[in-house]
Amino acid sequence: MQPNKLLKPGLYSATSGDQKGATARLKGGRCRCGYVFFPMQTYGCERCGSHGDALTPCELSAKGTLLAEATVHLHADKNRPAPFTIVKVALDDGPVIRTVLAEDSAPVAPGQRVTGRLAAIGQSDRGETVLDLRFSIAS
């Protein structure tokens, strides 16, 4: 079996191994003041302005509550197959993120609990299965 490859390893991983269907962990950050953000960055805290070593990486749970959803029927990038659904999720750990709904997810509505998992989205040039983050209704 070919190994798997994460599309954006700087943003997420899976604690149980990078396999299709594994629950993702998001690579966020925490400021000395307590503010939690995603993705990790060192430019500055959005709440207090601290930067540098005041900001440290932290793992965030990929569980949250759906705030909104919108289906994209035509994308400006012709290489991006449509339709797909963008979801806005309030993570349990604080940050609000915009991400993609899993293709095989049941229809979603605001207020529902959702979880981010690794989904197979294609093959790399070297035959690896490429995995990316997709949210779906929590099971």
Q: Tell me, what DSSP letter sits at residue 52?
A: G
Q: Which is nearer to Zn ion, 35 or 84 (CB)?
A: 35
Residue 48 binding Zn ion, by CB under 5 A = yes
Q: Segment near Zn ion (CB under 5 A), from 1-9, 35-43, 89-97, 99-107?
A: 35-43
Residue 35 binding Zn ion, by CB under 5 A = yes
Q: Distance of CA 96 to CAs 12, 39, 87, Å?
A: 15, 11, 10
User: How far is Cα 129 from Cα 2, in angstroms, rounded to an integer?
Assistant: 7
User: How far is Cα 25 from Cα 65, in angstroms, rounded to an integer?
Assistant: 16
Residue 47 binding Zn ion, by CB under 5 A = yes
Q: Which is nearer to Zn ion, 43 or 139 (CB)?
A: 43
Residue type, 39: P
Q: Which of 3, 8, 15, 33 forms a contact with Zn ion (CB under 5 A)?
A: 33
